[in-house]
Amino acid sequence: MKHIPRKRFGQHFLSDTGIIDAIVRAIAPAPGDPMVEIGPGLAALTQPLVERLGRLTVIELDRDLAARLRGHGQLDVVESDVLKVDFTALAQRLGAPRLRIVGNLPYNISTPILFHLLAHVHVVQDQHFMLQKEVIDRMVAEPATAAYGRLSVMLQWRYAMEDVLFVPPESFDPPPRVDSAVVRMAPHAVPAPLDVAVLEELVQVAFSQRRKLLRHTLGRWLEQRGFAGDFDTQRRAEEVPVADFVALAQQCS
């Protein structure tokens, strides 16, 4: 029976074999890799991956699709909302120190998924995700550009990221109304030690009014905390490099 894509799950199924091959080459799966796929859908990417891996763990929320996937002898199916999956516990269950995570992420919750995984980054070897092109542009953005913002800072602090492949709408069924792309995310081996909650709060405050100078937003936040260090608040948030935000978070932690 043909599966009807469900809007509430943001389902757009990859159907272009050329794009699928290019994604698999970018991921470069090797036999035995402890890999987890988020949102396998109709298994367009799942099948070529598992053929190279031997075994694959998949996370699928749609119960009809999960039932189909359970019929595949080489898949371990986790039927769940990905935002409720404990990836640290999953790595332990699979006996893997680090996971390789891949997926065509639902565009309506892609950012929450990225932040959920950030909390489990210590068990991640690498991540390859298909996302809305606009989101990836924000993830990899440089300072002093319109795309640079909270997402750029929070992810670049912890990952080296690369936009590896453009994916047009016609590669999907049904076609989304936006362009897509594939991003590679590799955790930094030695990340700057800091209190993540502090970095998240100060970055959120800084970008809350991005057109204003930081003295109107982050400057007041620092004053309230009794900050006595040196930080130039005569800049806009988009002008501040990731390293400066990280250094400030370290001083405030």
Sequential pLDDT tens for the chain (253 residues): 444 444 444 456 788 999 999 999 999 999 999 999 999 988 999 999 999 999 999 999 999 999 999 999 999 999 999 999 999 999 999 999 999 999 998 888 999 999 999 999 999 999 999 999 999 999 999 999 999 999 999 999 999 999 999 999 999 888 888 999 999 999 999 988 999 999 999 999 999 998 899 999 999 999 999 999 999 999 999 999 999 999 999 999 8
Do 172 and 209 belong to one domain?
A: no
Among candidate residues 165, 187, 209, the one where a domain is terminated: 187
Residue 1 lies inside a defined structural domain of this protein = no
Whether residue 60 is annotated as binding a ligand: the answer is yes
User: Are residues 233 and 182 part of one domain?
Assistant: no
Residue-level pLDDT at 157: 96
Range list of β-strands (E), the chain? 13-14, 35-38, 56-60, 75-79, 99-104, 124-132, 159-167, 172-173, 180-187
Model-level pTM? 0.91
CATH number at residue 234: 1.10.8.100
126 and 162 in a common domain: yes
Instruction: Give yes or no: residues 21 and 104 share one domain.
Output: yes
- 40 in the same domain as 131: yes
Tell me, what's the pLDDT at 132? 94
- What residues are paired with 129 via a beta bridge? 103, 183
First to last CA, the chain: 55
Q: Do 142 and 73 share a structural domain?
A: yes
The answer on 156 and 73 residing in a single domain is yes
What the block records as the tokens of 38 is: 């988020």
Shared domain check, 206 and 178: no
12 labelled binding-site residue: yes
108 is in an annotated binding site: no
Structural domains of the chain, count: 2
Same domain? For 225 and 129 the reply is no
122 labelled binding-site residue: no
Domain identity same for 173 and 218: no
Domain, as residue range, for 115 = 7-187
Asked whether residue 54 is marked as a ligand-binding residue, the answer is no
Contact present, 207 and 237 (Cβ < 8 Å): yes
User: Is 239 annotated for ligand binding?
Assistant: no
Q: In this structure, are 68 and 94 located in the same domain?
A: yes
Same domain for 106 and 223, yes or no, is no
| Domain membership flag for residue 244 | yes
Q: Dig out the tokens for 45 from the structure.
A: 């990417």
Task: For residues 102 and 109, give the distance between their C-alpha atoms in angstroms, rounded to a whole number.
Answer: 15
Q: Closest Cα to residue 39, out of 3, 12, 15?
A: 12
What confidence score (pLDDT) does residue 41 get?
A: 87
